[in-house]
Structure 1
Amino acid sequence: MDLLNSIGLFVGSLISNTLASLSGGGAGLIQFPLLIFLGLPFGIALATHKVASVALGVGAALKHLRQGTLSWGFTLYIILTGAIGVILGAHLILSFPENIAEAALGILIISLGIYSLMKKELGQNENSINRDTKGMIIGGLGLATIGILNGSLTAGTGLFVTLFLVRWFGFNYKQAVALTLVSVGLFWNGIGAVAIYQAGAPIYWPWIPVLLLGSLLGGYLGAHLAHQKSNQLIKRCFEALTFIIGFKLLYSLF
């Protein structure tokens, strides 16, 4: 890769991962299409993107650890409940028509944005709910289902986890974004990258250093901004990103 393409890849990775770290998902909006635009086939681009996205979780985790805002118990719960779904989804995607999957995902993500937009007070304050045994079991099934989407699709599934944590467990947006970035960005994407690689999609290692740097810096910067800003602003960023990603996925079909 020449210098100009390397700079473009870094800038794209930095922007996409900063937005994802601030809003709780969506790094694949820019990063994944950019990999395809630069010449990687779908499967290789997906595996390469998953590996690079792990650095998003690392960057965000470093910032949230310094701030002491992360619930490690819930982080472990999200990782474990979603892991099986991620592995299953990673094996499904290589044999499933990607255009159908991305169209369905686009519609679902737009629905998330509309729902959040209509619920004015959603995620503004923590309201501890569904954290008993029954609620945790149902929540685990929900996270496992989202894990299937995460393992198989390229962009936006972190937004599902963010809104699920807000709606089902009553976290505010700041807490939900922090949990999502570390659980999904670091662990689900790491598990997904390994599963996709084992399923037969190779990783394009020459581009990994540039992508890792952009993801790491973007994750840290987005987490820094999320800590400074209000839940209301983060909610608005979340909603904006759902509409952008959703319509982008639908537009790509045409």
Structure 2
Amino acid sequence: MEFLNFFYVLLAGIVSGFLNVNAGGGSLISMPLLIFLGLPSAVANGTNRVALMVQNIIAITNFREKGYFDWKIGVMLAAPAIVGSIVGSSIAVSLSDEIFNKILGVMMLVILVLIIWQPQKKLKIDPEQELSTKRKIIGIIIFFFVGIYGGMIQGGVGFIIITSLMLLTGYSLVRINSLKVFIVAIYMLVSLIIFIVNGKVNWMYGFILAIGNGLGAYLGSNFAVKKGDKWIKVVLVVAIVVMAIKLFLGL
């Protein structure tokens, strides 16, 4: 039974890492599994973040080797996300799981509409044009709140980051995904430290999940670069619809 549990955690990590790099919502697979295996929700949350750190470090390295790494914009947006993550990790979540899941499900469907509608194209955002001061300020404010959400819950934050970057930059989804994994890795470190200090990490499951997430991230980042925007959108749409239905209906 113990071996089967490790296998389930490894498999969940691979799927989670692949989804997180290309879209988001991978934590909505790995965290429920950890809870099902007997971990308290706070420990499952902290344990999942160990794997997410490994996943994002591998994805960053892979994107960078393939020429997708914009550290200036990444650092600019990661800084407010760090501050927000500290705030978010320190806030007690008052909403019940049922209400929160329904809200998150609705948010995912809203993001799905944005992805299909592609408002960044209607706004005629030039992806080659340097970000204006106004857009930089808006980005800093948005990513402060992204950090709060990521620090508290994390699940589904990838969808929020992708949509925000689409509207701010007009970049391709491949380039956006490379920025996303960098930003998440930076603020994730802060929240992970808070969970570790409070003893909310199961290191055995965290290590196995990290191996799975790392493998999934490697496969996912290769998939993103080779397949490009078209297939990333397919992964995005399928992941959002499935997770939104699951959350909203409480399945």
TM-score over 0.5 (shorter chain): yes
Q: Is the 8 A contact 1:93 1:153 kept in 2?
A: no
Greater displacement, 163-172 / 111-120: 111-120
What is the letter of the counterpart of residue 10 of structure 1? Answer: L
Q: Per the alignment, do residues 53 and 122 of structure 1 end up closer, same or farther by CA in structure 2, a change over 3 Å counting?
A: farther
* In structure 2, distance between residues paired with 1:220 and 1:122: 30
What is the letter of the counterpart of residue 84 of structure 1? Answer: V
Could you say which residue in structure 1 is the equivalent of 2:59?
60
CA RMSD of aligned residues (A): 2.2
Q: Per the alignment, do residues 246 and 128 of structure 1 end up closer, same or farther by CA in structure 2, a change over 3 Å counting?
A: farther
Greater displacement, 96-105 / 67-76: 96-105
* In structure 2, distance between residues paired with 1:140 and 1:205: 34
What is the letter of the counterpart of residue 241 of structure 1? Answer: A
Q: Per the alignment, do residues 126 and 19 of structure 1 end up closer, same or farther by CA in structure 2, a change over 3 Å counting?
A: farther
Q: Per the alignment, do residues 41 and 67 of structure 1 end up closer, same or farther by CA in structure 2, a change over 3 Å counting?
A: same
Task: Report whether the alignment pairs 1:135 with 2:135.
Answer: yes
* In structure 1, distance between residues paired with 2:121 and 2:115: 7
- Report the Cα offset of residue 226 of structure 1: 0.3
Task: Report whether the alignment pairs 1:38 with 2:37.
Answer: yes
Could you say which residue in structure 2 is the equivalent of 1:173?
173
Task: Report whether the alignment pairs 1:17 with 2:8.
Answer: no
Q: Is the 8 A contact 2:77 2:139 kept in 1?
A: no
**Tell me, which stretches of 5 or more residues in structure 2 are unaligned?**
none
Could you say which residue in structure 1 is the equivalent of 2:82?
83
Could you say which residue in structure 1 is the equivalent of 2:111?
112
* In structure 1, distance between residues paired with 2:27 and 2:231: 22
Could you say which residue in structure 2 is the equivalent of 1:188?
187
Moved over 6 A (4+): none
Could you say which residue in structure 2 is the equivalent of 1:229?
227
Q: Per the alignment, do residues 197 and 72 of structure 1 end up closer, same or farther by CA in structure 2, a change over 3 Å counting?
A: same
What is the letter of the counterpart of residue 172 of structure 1? Answer: S
* In structure 2, distance between residues paired with 1:195 and 1:95: 19
Q: Is the 8 A contact 1:78 1:140 kept in 2?
A: yes
* In structure 1, distance between residues paired with 2:240 and 2:129: 25
Q: Is the 8 A contact 1:113 1:240 kept in 2?
A: no
TM-score, length-scaled by structure 1: 0.90
Q: In percent, how many aligned pairs have the same letter?
A: 24
* In structure 2, distance between residues paired with 1:126 and 1:132: 11
- 1:191-206 pair list within 5 angstroms: 191-198=190-197, 200=198, 202-206=200-204
Q: Secondary structure at the match of 2:91?
A: helix
* In structure 2, distance between residues paired with 1:56 and 1:46: 15
Q: Per the alignment, do residues 228 and 121 of structure 1 end up closer, same or farther by CA in structure 2, a change over 3 Å counting?
A: farther
* In structure 2, distance between residues paired with 1:135 and 1:52: 32
Q: Could you list the per-position Cα deviations for residues 94-113 of structure 1 after superposition, in whole angstroms to 9, with x for gaps in the alignment?
A: 55534333322221111101
Could you say which residue in structure 1 is the equivalent of 2:6?
6
* In structure 2, distance between residues paired with 1:36 and 1:2: 15
TM-score, length-scaled by structure 2: 0.91
Q: Is the 8 A contact 1:161 1:180 kept in 2?
A: yes
Greater displacement, 128-137 / 59-68: 128-137
Q: Per the alignment, do residues 49 and 122 of structure 1 end up closer, same or farther by CA in structure 2, a change over 3 Å counting?
A: farther
Q: Secondary structure at the match of 2:131?
A: coil
Q: Per the alignment, do residues 237 and 126 of structure 1 end up closer, same or farther by CA in structure 2, a change over 3 Å counting?
A: farther
- Report the Cα offset of residue 210 of structure 1: 0.5
* In structure 1, distance between residues paired with 2:235 and 2:176: 14
What is the letter of the counterpart of residue 69 of structure 2? Answer: L
